[in-house]
Structures are given as structure tokens and as C-alpha cells.
């Protein structure tokens, strides 16, 4: 029987450790994804994940169900990421190696039907998106992360970030518009480079 988050929280608050373990198993990957896309480094994201669940466990008694458990957990993780960035006094890191080393393709999980060329293209796009997102203001980046990769509604994001609904929509629109211009420019530059390379080699 699959229990809801609320049921698991109630059981965990009553002392059932296995229920909390189930909550962790359910939400560890999304929290890691959020932290990784916010901070840009695997080790830092792991630290945030562990600390987020430790804080969640310690704060379970004070969680009264006023919001969804996932929203509460996301908020803890976002605060930890924000604190990390401020403490380290640096913007999110984008690990982009020079060129595309075939060995680095091991970082991507290739599907059986995906060719090497598709893998390279996907890798390049992933790096381009990471670079573009890292350059966004924190508010726009956070709104896009929560909406695009975690499926939260506008209202849930507004409640989590404690801002008006219209502000969330504005941040999303502005963020996507900036991303659109940068990605189109990057793709145009990449296409020009490929064309120039082909012409020089022929």
C-alpha cells in the first residue's frame, strides 16, 4: 500500500523511523536535482540533500501540515542553497569542460536508440542551458527551476517564495525570454562555427 506524504509524516512524527525513510526515498532525487541545478556541483548538492533531510527530521514536530510536505522540503533546500551561495560568495558553478571529450559522455545516460551524435548534441545543449541558467538572476532561475523541473503551480511557487502570484509569472516570463535570446544566440554561433569548420576542411 502506497501511503501519502501526509500519512508518512504523521507516522514519522509519532516515532516511526521507517516512514521517514520512505519519505526520503520518495523525495531525495527531486531535492538533489533542485540543489544540483541551483549550485552546479554534485558534492555540494549532496551536502544540501543530506542537510535538508536532517533539518526536516528535526523539524517534523513543528510541521503542522499548513503546506504540502514537498513544498516545505523544497523551501528548506532552497534556503540551504541560498545560504551556501552567500557563504561561498560565488555564483552557481557550471562545470563546462572545453570542447566535448568523448569520455565525458559517460556522464550522460545514453538510451539504446541514441547515437553518439545525438549524445554529443544533447550534451552540448545541456551545457548551454546550464550556462544560460547560471547567468539568470536568482529569483528568475528559482522560479523556472520550480516550474519547469518540479511541476509546481504558479500558486505553489508564490506561497513557497512568499511573493504575489503576478510576480511569479513575471519572473518566469522574463527568465524564459532571456534564456530564449541567449540560447538562440549560442545555437547561431555554434552553427556558424560548424559551417566555418566544414568550409575550411573541404
Partner 1 sequence: MCDDREKLIAYVYDDCDDAERRDVDAHLASCDACRSEVGGLRRVRQDLLAWDVPEHGSVWRPFVPARVAFAWRDVPAWALAAAASLLLLAGASGGLVTYALVAPQQERVVVVPPADPTPVREFPAELSGLEDRLLAALRAEMEERLQTVAADLPQSRVSGPPADLTDQLSALRAAQFDYLRAVNADIRTLSSRTAHLEQREQTTNMMLTSLFTQRGQPVMLPVGQ
Which residues have CB under 8 Å from 150's CB, separation 6+? 30, 33, 34, 74
Minimal distance in Å, beta carbon 70 to partner 1? 16
Closer residue to partner 1 (CB): 9 or 49: 49
Q: Say which DSSP state 104 is in.
A: G
DSSP for 146-178 reads IIIIT---HHHHHHHHT--HHHHHHHHHHHHHH
Q: Is 103 in the site for partner 1 (CB under 8 A)?
A: yes
Q: Choose which of 9, 24, 39, 76 interacts with partner 1 (CB under 8 A).
A: 24
Minimal distance in Å, beta carbon 137 to partner 1? 16
Q: Say which DSSP state 145 is in.
A: I
Helix (H, G, I), strand (E, B) or coil at 94: coil
Q: Is 110 in the site for partner 1 (CB under 8 A)?
A: yes
Q: Is 74 in the site for partner 1 (CB under 8 A)?
A: no
* CA distance linking residue 105 with residue 17, whole number of Å: 39
Q: Is 148 in the site for partner 1 (CB under 8 A)?
A: yes
Closer residue to partner 1 (CB): 72 or 144: 144
Instruction: Round the CA-based radius of gyration of the chain to a whole number and report it.
Output: 20
| Interface stretch with partner 1, choices 2-10, 68-76, 83-91, 124-132 (CB under 8 A) | 124-132
Closer residue to partner 1 (CB): 72 or 132: 132
Closest CA relative to residue 25, chosen from 49, 6, 42 = 49
Which residues have CB under 8 Å from 45's CB, separation 6+? 32, 35, 36, 39
Q: Is 5 in the site for partner 1 (CB under 8 A)?
A: no
Closest CA relative to residue 76, chosen from 47, 50, 46, 56 = 56
Under the rule (CB under 8 A), what is the footprint of partner 1? Answer: 17-18, 20-21, 24-25, 28, 32-33, 36-37, 42, 45-46, 49-50, 53-54, 102-103, 105-110, 115-116, 122, 125-126, 128-130, 133, 144, 147-149, 153-154, 166, 169-170, 172-173, 176-177, 179-180, 183
Amino acid at each position: 500500500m502506497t501511503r501519502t506524504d501526509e500519512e508518512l509524516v504523521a507516522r514519522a512524527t509519532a516515532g516511526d523511523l521507517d516512514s521517514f525513510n520512505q519519505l526520503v526515498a520518495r523525495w531525495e532525487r527531486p531535492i538533489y536535482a533542485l540543489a544540483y541545478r541551483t549550485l552546479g556541483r554534485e558534492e555540494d548538492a549532496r551536502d544540501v540533500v543530506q542537510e535538508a533531510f536532517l533539518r526536516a527530521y528535526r523539524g517534523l514536530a513543528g510541521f503542522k501540515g499548513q503546506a504540502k510536505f514537498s513544498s516545505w522540503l523544497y523551501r528548506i533546500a532552497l534556503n540551504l542553497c541560498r545560504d551556501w551561495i552567500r557563504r561561498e560568495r560565488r555564483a552557481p558553478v557550471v562545470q563546462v569542460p572545453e570542447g566535448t571529450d568523448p569520455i565525458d559522455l559517460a556522464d550522460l545516460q545514453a538510451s539504446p536508440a541514441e547515437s553518439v551524435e545525438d549524445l554529443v548534441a544533447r550534451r552540448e545543449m545541456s551545457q548551454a542551458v546550464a550556462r544560460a541558467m547560471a547567468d539568470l538572476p536568482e529569483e528568475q532561475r528559482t522560479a523556472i527551476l520550480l516550474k519547469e523541473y518540479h511541476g509546481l503551480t504558479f500558486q505553489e511557487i508564490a506561497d513557497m517564495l512568499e511573493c504575489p502570484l503576478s510576480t511569479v509569472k513575471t519572473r518566469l516570463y522574463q527568465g524564459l525570454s532571456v534564456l530564449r535570446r541567449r540560447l538562440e544566440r549560442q545555437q547561431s554561433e555554434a552553427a556558424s562555427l560548424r559551417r566555418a569548420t566544414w568550409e575550411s576542411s573541404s
